[in-house]
Structure 1
Amino acid sequence: MPTGIGGVDAVLGGGLLRGSAYIVQGPPGAGKTILANQICFNAAASGEPALYVSLLAEAHDRLLTYMRPLRFYDAALVPERVSYLSAYPILEKEGPGALQRMLLEEVRRRGARVVVLDGLFVIHDAFGSEPAFRRFVHEMQGLASLAGCSLLMLTNQARSRAAPEHTMVDGWIELLDEIHGLRAVRALVVHKQRGSAYLRGRHLYRITDAGITLFPRLEAAQPCEPDTAPRNGRIGSGIAQFDTMLMGGYPPASSTFLLGPSGSGKTTFGLHFLGRCTPEEPGLLFGFYETPTRLMVKARRIGLDLEGLVARGAVEVIWQPDADNLVDELGHRLITAAQRRRAKRIFVDGLGSFERAMLHKQRLPALVAAIHNILQPLGATILYSREVQELDMLERLPDSDLSTMAENLILFHYARQGRLLHRMLSILKLRDSDFDPFAEEFHITPDGVRFGRRPLATARPAEADELPDVPSLGDTPPTGP
Structure 2
Amino acid sequence: MHFLSAGVDNGETSLYINLGEPGDYVKETVEHFDLNPDGIHFLDLSPSHEDFDEGENYSVFTSAEVEQPSFIEELRSSVEELQPDRVLLDPITEFRYLTTDERQFRKQILSFLDFLRDNGATVIFTSQASDSLSDDDLQFLTDTVINLETDIEGSTLFVSKFRGSSFQRGIHSYEITNDGVTVFPKLLPGTWSPQNTAETSDKLSSGIPELDQLLKGGLDPGTVTFVSGPTGTGKTTTALQFIKEAAGRGEKSVMYSFEESPGTIRKRSRSISLPIEAMLEQGTLSIEEIAPNEYTPNEFTSRLQTAVEDEGARIILIDGLQGFKQNLRGYTTDPEDVLLRIVRYLRAAGVSTIITNEVTNITGEFRVTEESVSNLADNVLFLRYVETESELGKVIGVLKMRTGDFERSLRQFEITEYGIRVGEPLEDMQGILTGTPRLQKTHRDARSGDVE
Q: TM-score, normalised to structure 1's length?
A: 0.76
Give the whole-Å Cα distance in 2 for the aligned partners of 1:284 and 1:103: 53
Q: What residue number does 1:410 align with?
A: 381
> In structure 1, the residue corresponding to 2:255 is in which secondary structure?
strand
Which amino acid in the other structure matches residue 306 of structure 2? Answer: T
Which structure has the greater CA radius of gyration? 2
Q: Does 1:290 align with 2:248?
A: no
Q: What residue number does 2:11 align with?
A: 47
Give the whole-Å Cα distance in 1 for the aligned partners of 2:439 and 2:46: 83
- For 1:248-263, list aligned pairs within 5 A: 248-263=217-232
The alpha-carbon deviation at position 257 of structure 1 amounts to 1.6
Q: What residue number does 2:237 align with?
A: 268
Q: What residue number does 2:40 align with?
A: 82
Question: Which deviations, in whole Å up to 9, do the C-alpha atoms of 1:111-164 show, x marking residues without a partner?
Answer: 322211112222123323221222123223313421222212112113798933
The alpha-carbon deviation at position 451 of structure 1 amounts to 1.9
Q: What residue number does 1:189 align with?
A: 158
Which amino acid in the other structure matches residue 61 of structure 1? Answer: D
Q: What residue number does 1:400 align with?
A: 372
Which amino acid in the other structure matches residue 158 of structure 2? Answer: V
Q: Does 1:143 align with 2:105?
A: no
Q: Does 1:422 align with 2:393?
A: yes
Which amino acid in the other structure matches residue 17 of structure 2? Answer: V
| Unaligned segments of structure 2, at least 5 residues | 52-62, 425-435, 441-452
Q: Is the 8 A contact 1:286 1:334 kept in 2?
A: no
Question: Which deviations, in whole Å up to 9, do the C-alpha atoms of 1:303-349 show, x marking residues without a partner?
Answer: 22121122223223333433432111111112212223322222222
Which amino acid in the other structure matches residue 435 of structure 1? Answer: F
Q: Is the 8 A contact 2:384 2:396 kept in 1?
A: yes
- For 1:26-41, list aligned pairs within 5 A: 37-41=1-5
Give the whole-Å Cα distance in 2 for the aligned partners of 1:151 and 1:142: 10
Identical counterparts, % of pairs: 25
Give the whole-Å Cα distance in 1 for the aligned partners of 2:265 and 2:349: 26
Q: Is the 8 A contact 1:226 1:373 kept in 2?
A: no
Which amino acid in the other structure matches residue 78 of structure 2? Answer: E
Residues 1:249 and 1:153: Cα distance change in structure 2 (over 3 Å): same
Give the whole-Å Cα distance in 1 for the aligned partners of 2:439 and 2:407: 15
Query: Of residues 190, 203, 215 in structure 2, which corresponds to 1:234?
Result: 203
Question: Which deviations, in whole Å up to 9, do the C-alpha atoms of 1:341-376 show, x marking residues without a partner?
Answer: 322222222333432215357744443343344344
The alpha-carbon deviation at position 378 of structure 1 amounts to 4.9
Q: Does 1:73 align with 2:73?
A: no
Question: Which deviations, in whole Å up to 9, do the C-alpha atoms of 1:378-406 show, x marking residues without a partner?
Answer: 53211112233232451574222320x22
Give the whole-Å Cα distance in 1 for the aligned partners of 2:386 and 2:44: 74
Q: Number of residue pairs matched?
A: 412
Q: C-alpha root-mean-square deviation of aligned residues, in Å?
A: 3.3
Give the whole-Å Cα distance in 1 for the aligned partners of 2:43 and 2:332: 46
Query: Of residues 87, 94, 102 in structure 2, which corresponds to 1:115?
Result: 87
Q: What residue number does 2:170 align with?
A: 201
Residues 1:264 and 1:193: Cα distance change in structure 2 (over 3 Å): same
Q: What residue number does 2:311 align with?
A: 341
Q: Is the 8 A contact 2:14 2:40 kept in 1?
A: yes
Residues 1:126 and 1:352: Cα distance change in structure 2 (over 3 Å): farther
Q: Is the 8 A contact 1:343 1:378 kept in 2?
A: no
Q: Is the 8 A contact 2:253 2:313 kept in 1?
A: yes
Give the whole-Å Cα distance in 2 for the aligned partners of 1:149 and 1:352: 51
Q: Is the 8 A contact 1:355 1:361 kept in 2?
A: no
The alpha-carbon deviation at position 274 of structure 1 amounts to 1.2
Bigger shift: residues 368-377 or 437-446:
368-377
> In structure 2, the residue corresponding to 1:158 is in which secondary structure?
coil
Query: Of residues 343, 360, 368 in structure 1, which corresponds to 2:339?
Result: 368
Give the whole-Å Cα distance in 2 for the aligned partners of 1:284 and 1:304: 16
Give the whole-Å Cα distance in 1 for the aligned partners of 2:333 and 2:296: 15
The alpha-carbon deviation at position 281 of structure 1 amounts to 2.3
Q: What residue number does 1:16 align with?
A: none
Q: Does 1:175 align with 2:148?
A: yes
Q: Is the 8 A contact 1:425 1:440 kept in 2?
A: yes
> In structure 1, the residue corresponding to 2:89 is in which secondary structure?
strand
Q: Is the 8 A contact 2:64 2:100 kept in 1?
A: no
The alpha-carbon deviation at position 215 of structure 1 amounts to 0.7
Q: What residue number does 1:451 align with?
A: 422
Q: Does 1:326 align with 2:290?
A: no
Q: Is the 8 A contact 1:231 1:253 kept in 2?
A: no
> In structure 2, the residue corresponding to 1:409 is in which secondary structure?
strand
Q: TM-score, normalised to structure 2's length?
A: 0.80
Residues 1:61 and 1:200: Cα distance change in structure 2 (over 3 Å): same
Which amino acid in the other structure matches residue 94 of structure 2? Answer: V
